[in-house]
Structure 1
Amino acid sequence: MNKILVTGGAGFIGSHLVEELVKNPLNEVYVIDDLSTGNWRNIKKVFRSLAFFLPVRVQDVHEDLVNPFFDTIYHLAAKANTRAVGDEEAIDNIDSTRAVVKLLKPNGRIVFSSSCAVYGNQRLVTEKSKFSPISTYGCSKWLNELHIKKHCKNYTIFRFGNVFGERQNGSRKMGLIGVIEYRKKNGKTMTVYNKGQDYRDYIYVKDVVKALVTVKDKDIFQVSNSKAHRTLDLIKLSGVDYKFGKSNPEVGYILLKNSKLRAKGWKPTLSVTEYIKGL
């Protein structure tokens, strides 16, 4: 049996990953999620297939509770607010990564969900682009990558573009597409920052999961569609009512090259515009 831990397993991306992992009878899947942004209903259909579910922070789990340690850890749990003020959330992200590394078997493998936020204000990036985060969230992801590379024998690091898809919690303002979907379904007006002139590279959640499960090299990969979309164009496409809000200091344009991941046989299946048209 492959003993697998998924942190953040009741969240947006994590719940889709858990559903995929339990399909393999050789996987023994454990989930830790403090439910700060996740919801146990996201994994309700597969709940009975889990070895256990702990509704706590990773750093609050005593090592004796999960002995023997894990063969594979998918570390997705994080506070993912790029507009966060102060360093409290970043410190929480760093602490959780340091804690989860200690739960891995000596020859085990950790799969880490990093982010394009590590690049900051760079327009076209590859896995070799320099680190230049402009948010505390991006800084925490960068520091976590360094910690994993130093302390884990086997690892795969995935730097996500802007993930969209089912179960994205738009009511909590988590992700542009999630907010669009929530506002459209509930007939509410959304606030658009920076006049909607920011460009982002969007990737479907199930395409992310496919990469997480199938690519196992000790390496770093970008998960993206390699196409940038302007925020205002996507909002107009959705038909949701909107108003302009204040300007925020954030990345204006980013596009992630995905050729390295494509060379492994992976490819994206659904574009963000197709998803929005289906709402």
Structure 2
Amino acid sequence: MRGRRTVRVVVVAALTVLAVVFVYPLVWLVSASFKPRAEIFDNRLLPRTPTLENYLTVWDAAPLGLWLANTLVVTALAATTVTLSSALVAWGFAHYRFRGRGPLFGLVLATMMLPGAVTLIPTYLIWHQLGFVGTTVPLWAGNLFGSAFYIFLLRQFFLGLPREPFEAARLDGASEWALFWRIAVPLCRPALVLAFLFEAQASWTDLMRPLVYLQDTATFTVPRGLKAVIDQFGPGGESQWEVVVTASVITTVPMILLFFAGQRYFVQGIATTGSKG
């Protein structure tokens, strides 16, 4: 009993230390956003002279509201399209038996080995020919074709579903689409939410594609806008770090709220997906 209690104390202490290590940068960032320029790097978690001037300066210096709206639209479209398209492909690989299913699924997984830089130029040329360079369409429309990672994740979940409800529904005259939409999707909601959250986070923080495709500040997303703010107020500009950290806080808050809103599905999706065969 005493040994078990000692182990628990050690585990709790280790987790506490790790939590502090991970949370401290965020706490410091929020604290720094309320400090004047002279105190920005004093490492005090409680500002000596708190001020809201930084937030007013940021909203005057950059169209953060427009960038947040652009990013919200792109994130919603990217996460929704990749979740639905990947679910359809995963359902096909998990539920149907057809010749060549194994090699074809292996080919899908093999695409995960290609770095994004390899397909960056061909993809850019395609979007250029379609006339979408300079718009936000290339940031999400590619997700209409699914993602190998999410296809694998959702397929593992679909494989764990019992086949009896689907056979019974088929005998009752249910269509193939009804089997997927009315039975498989509700049963796999945690995994679908998990894929949605993963892609939302990836899309919200994506900088490479906005750097390549976006040219007008009116179409900037949050990461591209932050790059512009850093160029103007960071080491290459006016060195107003209080503006940079304040802009970072404003753009980080939505992701924190999204995580807390979907935390139950996030944990459940990881646990249940990992247990499927």
TM-score by length of 2: 0.21
* Greater RCO, CA 8 A, separation 6+: 2
Higher helix share: 2
Structure 1 length as normaliser, TM-score? 0.21
